[in-house]
């Protein structure tokens, strides 16, 4: 089924992510979603940091919803994401990780994300428990981050790129 959206983007490692960021900065891009490159980078930066620095305390009712998902569907949701290599296109996110475009610079946000990706690469300890998925082994944490990056960066098509991602 072709819904008019580009073929899903896939990353096999963090170098693929940083190369895509550089490509989007260099060539420019066309948005097929709501967020620009800076907004996406700030959002991804938040989620990379949460895995290594700790997740924020969610306010009620979000805290209750996250707990409910974690103890019921969280593991099966994670396995489905990892198996399919995709996140739902219409999934909701934590409001604190939605950034307004005003005052953000693509270049600054890309650099900030690349710095956090480098910290993530160098992280040797366990990841902080996800509020929805619980404890993540290193390989699943990396896969989840790559899928999350592909999900969001897939909404930006490099200018001059006539083929699907």
pLDDT, tens digit, 9 for 90 and up, residues 109-138 = 999 999 999 999 999 989 999 999 999 999
The total of structural domains in the chain comes to 1
In-domain check, residue 114: yes
User: Does residue 8 lie within any of the structural domains?
Assistant: no
Residue 154 lies inside a defined structural domain of this protein? yes
Query: Global pTM?
Result: 0.90
Decide if 44 is inside a domain: yes
In DSSP notation, 39-84 reads: HHHHHHHHHHHHHHH-PPPPPTTHHHHHHHHHHHTHHHHHHHHHHH
**Would you say residue 64 lies in a domain?**
yes
Tens digits of residue pLDDT in 51-60: 999 999 888 8
Whether residue 89 is contained in a domain is answered as yes
Residue 3 lies in a domain: no
> Does 54 fall in a domain?
yes
Domain of residue 152 covers 14-158
pLDDT of residue 90: 67
């Amino acid at each position: 089924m072709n819904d008019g959206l580009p073929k899903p983007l896939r990353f096999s490692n963090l170098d693929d992510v940083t190369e895509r960021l550089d490509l989007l900065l260099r060539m420019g891009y066309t948005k097929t979603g709501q967020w620009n490159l800076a907004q996406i980078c700030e959002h991804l930066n938040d989620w990379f940091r949460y895995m290594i620095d700790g997740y924020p305390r969610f306010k009620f009712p979000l805290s209750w919803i996250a707990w409910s998902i974690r103890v019921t569907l969280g593991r099966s949701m994670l396995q489905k994401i990892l198996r399919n290599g995709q996140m739902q296109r219409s999934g909701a996110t934590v409001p604190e990780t939605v950034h307004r475009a005003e005052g953000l610079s693509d270049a600054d946000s890309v650099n900030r994300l690349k710095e956090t990706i480098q910290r993530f690469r160098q992280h040797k300890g366990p990841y902080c428990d996800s509020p929805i998925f619980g404890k993540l082994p290193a390989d699943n944490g990396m896969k989840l981050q790559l899928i999350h990056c592909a999900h969001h960066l897939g909404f930006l098509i490099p200018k001059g790129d006539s083929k699907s991602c």
